[in-house]
Structure 1
Amino acid sequence: MLTLDELLKEAEVAHGHLCAGQILGVRMAMLACARLGIDEPRGKDRKRLVTWVEIDRCATDAIGVVTGCRLGKRALKPVDYGKMAATFADLSLPLGEDRYKAIRVCALESSKQRAKELYPDVEPKNAQQMLAYREMPEAELFSEEWVSVYLPPKEFPGYKGERVACAQCGEGINYDRFVVGEGEGEILCRACAAPKERYYQPI
């Protein structure tokens, strides 16, 4: 595992700037790897880790830098709860029935107040938090919880699934992300199966 300073430099390059959220993300991922006994998440241990991130903000980029988990590798799973939290699953720790041991780490709301107490004269707030979050003990920054996560084989990194075409739009669908339509049981993509719910609308 690289040092905090080394990882923060890499996170700054990957994200485009360094901020309090990046520092939280780096420290969160370092803590999770330590708890799981993962020394080289981007090296010899790279196939052990799958991470769920609960926010689409700066910390997510930092978590990817530390862990090597990437969306395109299917090792980074976004679930947008709007929380500064992530769950790190170790695939070498199966619990049975497609479940794996994991640790969920969440930034404490009280850490912002603690940053104010440590650096009351530093402005702006981001600079204050950046200083504090580098040095605060983990117990003042994060809550930790051992959890299990469900990860069937088809959700694994490297899974090669069947590719089918949507009966309506003709576009290819990977990883069983199709819906079987009512009536004649046509295979549909999710966008065609529920057009009012898709994130885009034709104009």
Structure 2
Amino acid sequence: MKSLEEYLDLAARSHGHMCPGQVLGVRMAMLGLRRLGIDDPMKHRKRLLTFVEIDRCATDAVSLVTGCRLGKRSLKYLDYGKVAATFVDLETRRAVRVVARDDARQKAKQMLGSLSDPHKQQLEAYKLMDDEELFTTQRVRVNLREEDLPGRPRSRVACDQCGEGVNDGRENYVNGRTLCRNCAGESYYEVLDDQ
């Protein structure tokens, strides 16, 4: 595994800036990997699956360190609004959830109160704090469905209403019809007109 400094440099370049969330994400991923006994995430990419619980800066850093990507289906986003991630070893099914401690902000202020900017306090303190001060970890079990695993699509069906293809069991069955989530009423968008 690379050093914290190396990952932070890569994270800043990849994400576009350095911030407390980047430090949390890098350290969170490094800790999760250590707890799983994975010392080279790029070498073991095929056996790693990561769930992130927030769509903020930390997620980019977690992806960078682990090599897990949405497009490779090895990074799963769950909108829980928490600076947390779960790392799953697909070979052993062992999993660890790492959560940023909410009291770390206050500890950062106590550690580096001489810095007037809370953002700077957190940025620098998060680099220095012990893992136990910054995170809580939990051994967890993640119930994985075959169609949620990385790799090629396990299934593909066409929606009976719109005709669009639906992969990996994401379809709904309503009154004997196969429907995509949108046509089944679970859409995040409303069609205004066809272009």
TM-score for the superposition, normalised by structure 2: 0.95
Alignment match, 1:200? 189
Distance 1:181 1:14 in 2: 43
Give CA-to-partner distance per residue, 1:101-136, whole Å, 9 cap, x none: 200000001100000001112132111101100010
Give CA-to-partner distance per residue, 1:50-95, whole Å, 9 cap, x none: 01101110000000000000010100111111111111011121xx
Q: What is the SS of the residue equivalent to 1:26?
A: helix
1:52-71 superposed matches below 5 A = 52-71=51-70
The question of 1:169 aligning with 2:162 is answered yes
Q: What is the SS of the residue equivalent to 1:115?
A: helix
Conservation of the 8 A alpha-carbon contact between 1:84 and 1:107:
yes
Normalized per residue, the structure richer in strand is: 1
Conservation of the 8 A alpha-carbon contact between 1:153 and 1:159:
no
Using the TM superposition, give the Cα deviation of residue 166 of structure 1 relative to its aligned residue in structure 2, in angstroms. 0.8
Distance 2:163 2:37 in 1: 46
Match of 1:124 among 117, 122, 131: 117
Question: Unpaired runs of 5+ in structure 1?
Answer: 94-99
Identity %: 53
Conservation of the 8 A alpha-carbon contact between 1:88 and 1:102:
yes
The question of 1:78 aligning with 2:110 is answered no
Alignment match, 2:107? 114
Question: Unpaired runs of 5+ in structure 2?
Answer: none
Using the TM superposition, give the Cα deviation of residue 162 of structure 1 relative to its aligned residue in structure 2, in angstroms. 2.2
Conservation of the 8 A alpha-carbon contact between 2:23 and 2:126:
yes
Using the TM superposition, give the Cα deviation of residue 159 of structure 1 relative to its aligned residue in structure 2, in angstroms. 3.4
Q: Which amino acid counterpart does residue 34 of structure 1 have in structure 2?
A: R
Q: What is the SS of the residue equivalent to 2:189?
A: coil
Q: What is the SS of the residue equivalent to 2:81?
A: coil
The question of 1:153 aligning with 2:146 is answered yes
Distance 1:123 1:15 in 2: 25
Distance 2:157 2:145 in 1: 20
Count of equivalent residues? 192
TM-score for the superposition, normalised by structure 1: 0.92
The question of 1:136 aligning with 2:125 is answered no
CA RMSD of aligned residues (A): 1.0
Q: What is the SS of the residue equivalent to 2:90?
A: strand
Conservation of the 8 A alpha-carbon contact between 1:180 and 1:188:
yes
